[in-house]
Amino acid sequence: MLAKSRSRTIFGVTSRAVDVEIDIASGIKAFTIVGLPDTACRESAERVIAALKNSGFKLPSLRITVNLAPAHLRKEGAMHDLAIAVTILAALDIIDKESLDNKVFCGELSLDGSLRPVKGILCVADDLKKHKDIELIIPVQNICEASAVKGILSIAASSLSEVIGYLTSGIRPAHDVPHKNKAASSPTINDQDYSDIKGNYNAKRAMEIAVAGGHNVLLIGSPGAGKTMLAQRLPTIIGELNKEESIETSKIYSICGCLSDKELISMPPFRALHHSVSDAGMLGGGSHHIRPGEVSLAHNGILFLDELPEFKRNVLEALRQPLEDDLIRISRANASLSYPCRFMLVAAMNPCPCGFLTHPKKICTCSPGQIQRYLSKISGPLLDRIDMHIEIQPIKYEQMIEKTSEKTSVNIKKRANEARSIQAKRYKNNNYNFNAKLPHRDIGKHCQVSKEASELLRIAMSELFISARAYDKILRVSRTIADLDKKMLIGVEQISEAISYRCLDTKAWL
């Protein structure tokens, strides 16, 4: 007695087809799963037997062999429980073998026969949408993920009995399918606003530019100057993700099991990390199961590193390649995977260990050697990949008590979104959307500079010893400033403002 069905296994942010083949023969009672299953997958035998028994199906004393093909592909987790259970019933001729055709089964079984949600259903649905005749049968808790993908018929069930009833009668289980997914906000506090921040006008202007062009930012200032407040309010001035970006980001959260059963990610994620994060936590990895790291969870959003010099040197250096490629490649002995990681890096640091080197009133107690060692924790190549270095000054008493209305997040967001719309229109035929991602080969085409601005940039290059990469960064930032000013030609004002946002190149205290 032989029967086959289809399931899927997660591979990076995609899924791979798995054929579930079951042979039932006479002999000593046994239940064997082959095809490179991991521990959770091998344990499916006990779950499936109990689920079938408690759903009213008693298995005879026969030898059951389950093959998960292809055998070279590692199978992880309990996603194949449902496929194994229905294929056993087909092999025993309890249900029609033809009822399994053109169907993909994904779901974990409880011992009582109910279905539990599994990770990565959004990836499965997105990969199956090009197969118009395929039905995806999944736990009811996963239906919101699957329904977000158009072009795939998803059938939700709450138990094994409901799946069997559908296969035998063709009547779908009566579960509501949502017509619209809720907007999932990023993990930030919604009542925050840039109007809460007094003073720091230059810094708020810089953050507006950074969001408008997707530029990486480093905030430098004394303790209490407002660096963290500025960073935490960035999500309030960023627009929502478009449909494609929402699916991309939600797929990463889906395979991590972090996606709500009612929501997709529609707001850019904001990931604020502690400096104790490890290499694997930052980049992703694992000895057996390779999982995405924080750089991928921040995809299409913001990665915030507070107290930047306190992070391990090897963790910071590992950021260099993802910042350039928008992709992280993780290689292990048993697999090699790639995860997307297009994010905006926002970092904050003190100018010295005590924090008061640049304070206008307080005296720094650090020796030159301590300051040098502190600053040297951040390498030059990493700093070169950060577009804007912003020095934050302490707020004065007069600024704290002034009654003048500050710019609200709504106003800043409107201006930033207008600049982003200009960039989207300009780069509509390219594989990038923001000025920060403008490749070197296209800078001359899109960053046309006036004669006076070109001369100013030449002087800055010779006097400040700006690197070639920093030169490109200045042009990209000035392009964003020109977009905010709604100007086609980059002038002296835009170039000089962009140079002012490179304080680590211009400050003598370094």
pLDDT in tens, 34-62: 999 999 999 999 999 999 999 999 888 88
The CA distance from 293 to 366, in Å, is 35
Q: pLDDT of 371-388, one tens digit each? A: 989 988 999 889 888 999
**Span 451-466, average pLDDT:** 86
Give the pLDDT band (50/70/90) at residue 261.
low
Beta-carbon contacts of residue 282 (< 8 Å; ≥ 6 apart): 273, 293, 294, 295, 315, 318, 319
pLDDT confidence of residue 424: 92
Is residue 144 a contact partner of residue 176, using CB atoms and an 8 Å limit? no
| 246 sits in which H/E element | helix 243-255
Is residue 94 a contact partner of residue 163, using CB atoms and an 8 Å limit? no
Question: What does residue 445 show for φ and ψ, rounded to 5 degrees?
Answer: -75, -40
**Bridge partner list, 302:** 270, 344
Give the pLDDT band (50/70/90) at residue 290.
confident
- State the number of CA atoms in the 13 A half-sphere of 95 facing the CB: 25
Give the pLDDT band (50/70/90) at residue 183.
very low
Q: Which domains does the chain have, with CATH numbers?
A: 2-169 (3.30.230.10), 194-428 (3.40.50.300), 438-510 (1.10.8)
Q: pLDDT of 63-101, one tens digit each? A: 999 999 999 998 988 999 999 999 999 999 999 999 999
**Span 145-166, average pLDDT:** 92
Cβ atoms within 10 Å, residue 99: 18
The CA distance from 305 to 295, in Å, is 11
Question: Considering only 194-203, 320-329, 422-431, which range has the smallest mean pLDDT?
Answer: 194-203
Mode of pairing for the β-strands spanning 336-340 and 327-331: antiparallel
Is residue 306 a contact partner of residue 223, using CB atoms and an 8 Å limit? no
Q: pLDDT of 420-437, one tens digit each? A: 999 999 999 888 889 999
Give the pLDDT band (50/70/90) at residue 186.
very low
Helix, coil or strand: residue 478: helix
pLDDT confidence of residue 341: 94
What average pLDDT does the chain have?
89
Q: Look-up: residue for tokens 């080969």?
A: 441
This model's pTM is above 0.85:
yes
pLDDT confidence of residue 405: 61
| Cα four-point dihedral sign 210, 295, 117, 15 | positive
Per-residue burial over 181-197, b if 16 or more Cβ lie within 10 Å, else e, is beebbbebeeebbbbeb
pLDDT confidence of residue 510: 53
Is residue 180 a contact partner of residue 351, using CB atoms and an 8 Å limit? no
Give the pLDDT band (50/70/90) at residue 406.
low
pLDDT confidence of residue 177: 58
| pLDDT of 181 strictly over 50 | no
| Structure token pair of residue 256 | 């991590």
Task: Quote the percentage of the chain above a pLDDT of 90.
Answer: 66
Please report which residue ranges of 377-450 form alpha helices under DSSP H.
Answer: 380-384, 397-401, 409-426, 440-446
| pLDDT of 507 strictly over 70 | no
Give the pLDDT band (50/70/90) at residue 185.
very low
